[in-house]
């Protein structure tokens, strides 16, 4: 069974982003970039499936400019077998990415696609569900446990208020939640090995899909500042303030 | 016309639906609410009472009892061609699961977690964990939206909309099936709609302390319990307690953060709360920068004292 894992290069989760003064977007020049954390969990899960003998090959794919190669190499260092770069310098919105991935699925015929549940830059949480829709495959989003047996996936999903278990026939789409696994650190020897693993480049235009943006960003602004920093000395003062000043208890 | 996908448990509509209807009313046009369930006449009747709703569409079938994304999407898609300009759902676990599937099938974009509506085609939404807000304009013929519930005041009761039974869309071929559910039973208010939320972080040390120290306070204040991602990661509490960018977004009247340092991703989930209290032994913790009332000290001493200072309900 082949597993396809789409990954995204995003501003590192530790970076506090700055809005550009002209309001056109967020400043991503000269900031640290990393693999989206939920995508790391997806790569880890796929590699574990191969280590258990359930998956035979783990292919990672990323859509974007040449720089996303770096993220693909990180995925290869975690243990993916080969990588595909779908190269495009255009702005790619979730629907466009899902269409590009569907075209890659048509070429690669994986039995399972594992994606992060959401990218921490646009916080859209759409691509996995959209990919499943375009392929007409079943989906199990927000997975905290994945079991594959007999051509089926059994997935525990994080839902509001608890967990839900779904069963679906393969091929299928899974998106990862936090508790699915803890991704390993790539070791130096594996980082070296990753440099020699195959990385194929596809021109996005050659896949024949419409990637035109559907949403036009008119402006990007800073959030309203919250005035905080107030202090109380002890429990008695806290209770008095909550009761008499804030009037919330 | 606007179609709102109701969030419900068959017996009644969830509060998230009231917020989604409030957003839908700002779009201009008749608001219809879809209640897709099984034995859900209670929820349909509840939806009909929400003020500003013109019509409730009630689809009933066994495969909609605990619907998968595939089946719920099929139901929305069966209606989407009836002249709707907007398809709206609350940005809950269920709404976020279903709506992108609907959007992709319609070949349109989804606008996720909108917090503002500037015009019927222009929306405000948070990006980068709420560290920036983008105003986006949709060029699609149908706008698919999920609504951040905390950004729109819940619509009240007072409506008397007709309930129309509609044919349930057939179950999606080859879709997933729900084989089990483990819902945490709790007497406490729901995290996303509670008036007071108390959240614990890694400072509590372990799951036992979390319960022992925070539950009595939650009892006194009739509060919901939440947690930071660090506390969930450390296994103190289940994931559905998580407040933050990748968990639940809350904006209660009072948010009490206990032993939480205030990572960006946590602040993203609670910084719109009306009043924020922070209790932490580290005076430099970032949570104090956004707290209205910060109390520096040992939470193991402060919490019992706080409980003692509040009347039992």
What confidence tens digit (pLDDT) does each residue in B237-259 have? 999 999 999 899 999 999 999 99
- B107 interaction partners in chain A (CB closer than 8 Å): 95
Alpha-carbon distance B23 to nearest alpha carbon in chain A (angstroms)? 19
Kindly compute the dihedral angle of the four CA atoms of residues A193, A197, A203, A209, in this order, to the nearest 10 degrees. -100
- B229 interaction partners in chain A (CB closer than 8 Å): 178
- A26 interaction partners in chain B (CB closer than 8 Å): 127-128, 132
Alpha-carbon distance A246 to nearest alpha carbon in chain B (angstroms)? 7
Q: What is the pLDDT of residues A69-101, one digit of tens each?
A: 999 999 999 999 999 999 999 999 999 999 999
Report the relative pairing of strands B122-127 and B116-119 from DSSP bridges: antiparallel
d(C-alpha B237, C-alpha B2), whole Å? 38
d(C-alpha A78, C-alpha A99), whole Å? 26
Show Cβ contacts of residue B173 under 8 Å, excluding neighbours closer than 6 positions. Answer: none
The pLDDT value given to residue A160: 87
pLDDT at B185 over 80: no
Q: Using pLDDT thresholds of 50, 70 and 90, give the confidence band for residue B221.
A: very high
Instruction: List the structure tokens of A37.
Output: 């954390």
Instruction: List the structure tokens of B121.
Output: 């085609």
d(C-alpha A10, C-alpha A178), whole Å? 17
Q: Is-contact A59 A4, C-beta < 8 A?
A: yes
User: Which residue from A26, A154, A232 is facing B128, i.e. has the nearest CB?
Assistant: A26
Q: Is there a contact between B110 and A117 if contact means CB atoms under 8 Å apart?
A: no
Q: Is there a contact between B140 and A231 if contact means CB atoms under 8 Å apart?
A: no
Task: Tell me which residue of A112, A98, A117 sits closest to A37, measured CA to CA.
Answer: A117
Alpha-carbon distance A211 to nearest alpha carbon in chain B (angstroms)? 11
The pLDDT value given to residue B205: 97
Q: What is the ipTM of this complex?
A: 0.94
d(C-alpha A101, C-alpha B101), whole Å? 15
DSSP letter, residue A243: I
State which residue of chain B sits closest to A168, comparing Cα positions.
B176
The pLDDT value given to residue B91: 97
Least confident of A14-23, A110-119, A137-146, B71-80: A14-23
Report the relative pairing of strands B122-127 and B196-200 from DSSP bridges: unpaired
Please give the residue that has the higher pLDDT: either A173 or A29: A173
Beta bridge partners of A122: none
pLDDT at B9 over 80: yes
CA B183 to chain centre: 16
Q: Which candidate in A131, A231, A236, A243 is best for mutational testing of the B interface (most B CBs within 10 A)?
A: A231
Average confidence (pLDDT) over A26-33: 94
The pLDDT value given to residue B93: 94
- A181 interaction partners in chain B (CB closer than 8 Å): none
Q: What H or E segment, with its residue span, contains residue B266? A: helix B264-267
Exposed / middle / buried, residue B85 (Cβ in 10 Å: 0-12, 13-18, 19+): middle
Q: Is-contact A139 A132, C-beta < 8 A?
A: yes
Q: Which candidate in B76, B105, B127 is best for mutational testing of the A interface (most A CBs within 10 A)?
A: B127
Q: Is-contact A14 A32, C-beta < 8 A?
A: yes
Report whether the peptide linkage leading into residue A171 is cis, meaning its omega lies within 30 degrees of zero.
Answer: yes
Average confidence (pLDDT) over B135-147: 97
DSSP A188-241: HHHHHHHTTS-EEEEEGGGG------SEEEEEEEPPPPP----B-SSHHHHHHI
Kindly compute the dihedral angle of the four CA atoms of residues B89, B91, B97, B101, in this order, to the nearest 10 degrees. 50
Q: Which candidate in B105, B148, B246 is best for mutational testing of the A interface (most A CBs within 10 A)?
A: B246
Residues 55-94 of B with CB under 8 A from A: 66, 68-70, 73, 92-94
Q: Is there a contact between B126 and A223 if contact means CB atoms under 8 Å apart?
A: yes
pLDDT at B313 over 90: no
d(C-alpha B59, C-alpha B73), whole Å? 13
Report the relative pairing of strands A162-169 and B132-138 from DSSP bridges: unpaired
């Amino acid at each position: 069974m082949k597993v396809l894992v789409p990954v995204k290069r995003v501003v590192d989760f530790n970076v506090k982003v700055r809005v550009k003064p002209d309001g056109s977007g967020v400043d991503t020049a000269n900031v640290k970039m990393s693999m989206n954390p939920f995508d790391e969990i997806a790569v880890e899960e796929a590699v574990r499936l191969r280590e258990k003998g359930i998956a035979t090959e783990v292919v990672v794919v990323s859509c974007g400019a040449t720089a996303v190669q770096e993220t693909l190499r990180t995925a290869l260092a975690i243990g993916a077998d080969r990588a595909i770069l779908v190269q495009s310098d255009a702005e790619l919105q979730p629907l466009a990415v899902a269409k590009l991935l569907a075209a890659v699925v048509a070429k690669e015929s994986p039995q399972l696609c594992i994606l992060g549940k959401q990218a921490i830059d646009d916080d859209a949480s759409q691509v996995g569900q959209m990919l499943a829709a375009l392929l007409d495959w079943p989906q199990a989003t927000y997975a905290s446990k994945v079991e594959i047996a007999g051509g089926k996936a059994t997935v525990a999903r994080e839902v509001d208020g608890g967990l839900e278990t779904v069963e679906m026939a393969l091929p299928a789409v899974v998106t990862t939640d936090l508790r699915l696994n803890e991704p390993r650190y790539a070791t130096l020897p594996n980082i070296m090995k990753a440099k020699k693993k195959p990385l194929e480049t596809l021109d996005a235009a050659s896949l024949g899909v419409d990637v035109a943006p559907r949403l036009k960003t008119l402006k990007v602004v800073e959030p309203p500042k919250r005035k905080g920093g107030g202090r109380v000395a002890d429990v008695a003062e806290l209770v008095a303030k909550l009761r008499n000043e804030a009037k919330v208890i | 016309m606007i179609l709102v996908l109701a969030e419900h448990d068959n017996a009644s509509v969830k509060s998230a639906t009231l917020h989604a209807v409030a957003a839908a009313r700002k779009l201009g046009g008749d608001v219809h609410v879809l209640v897709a369930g099984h034995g859900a006449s209670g929820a349909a009747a509840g939806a009909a009472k929400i003020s500003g709703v013109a019509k409730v569409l009630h689809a009933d079938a066994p495969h909609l009892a605990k619907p998968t994304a595939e089946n719920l999407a099929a139901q929305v898609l069966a209606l989407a061609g009836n002249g709707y300009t907007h398809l709206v759902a609350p940005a809950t676990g269920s709404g976020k699961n279903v709506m992108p599937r609907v959007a992709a099938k319609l070949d349109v974009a989804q606008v996720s977690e909108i917090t503002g509506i500037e015009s019927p085609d222009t929306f405000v939404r948070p990006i980068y964990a709420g560290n920036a807000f983008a105003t986006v304009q949709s060029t699609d013929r149908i706008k698919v939206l999920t609504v951040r519930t905390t950004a729109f005041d819940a619509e009240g009761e007072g409506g008397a909309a007709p309930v129309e039974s509609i044919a349930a869309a057939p179950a999606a071929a080859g879709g997933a099936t729900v084989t089990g559910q483990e819902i945490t039973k709790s007497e406490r208010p729901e995290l996303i709609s509670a008036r007071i939320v108390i959240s614990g972080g890694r400072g509590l040390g372990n799951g036992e302390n979390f319960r022992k120290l925070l539950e009595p306070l939650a009892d006194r204040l009739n509060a919901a319990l939440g947690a930071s991602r660090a506390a969930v990661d450390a296994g103190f509490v289940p994931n559905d307690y998580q407040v933050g960018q990748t968990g639940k977004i809350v904006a209660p009247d009072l948010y009490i953060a206990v032993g939480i340092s205030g990572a960006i991703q946590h602040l993203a989930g609670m910084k719109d709360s009306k009043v924020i209290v922070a209790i932490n032994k580290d005076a430099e913790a970032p949570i104090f920068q956004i707290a209205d009332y910060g109390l520096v000290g040992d939470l193991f001493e402060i919490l019992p004292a706080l409980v003692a200072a509040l009347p039992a309900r």
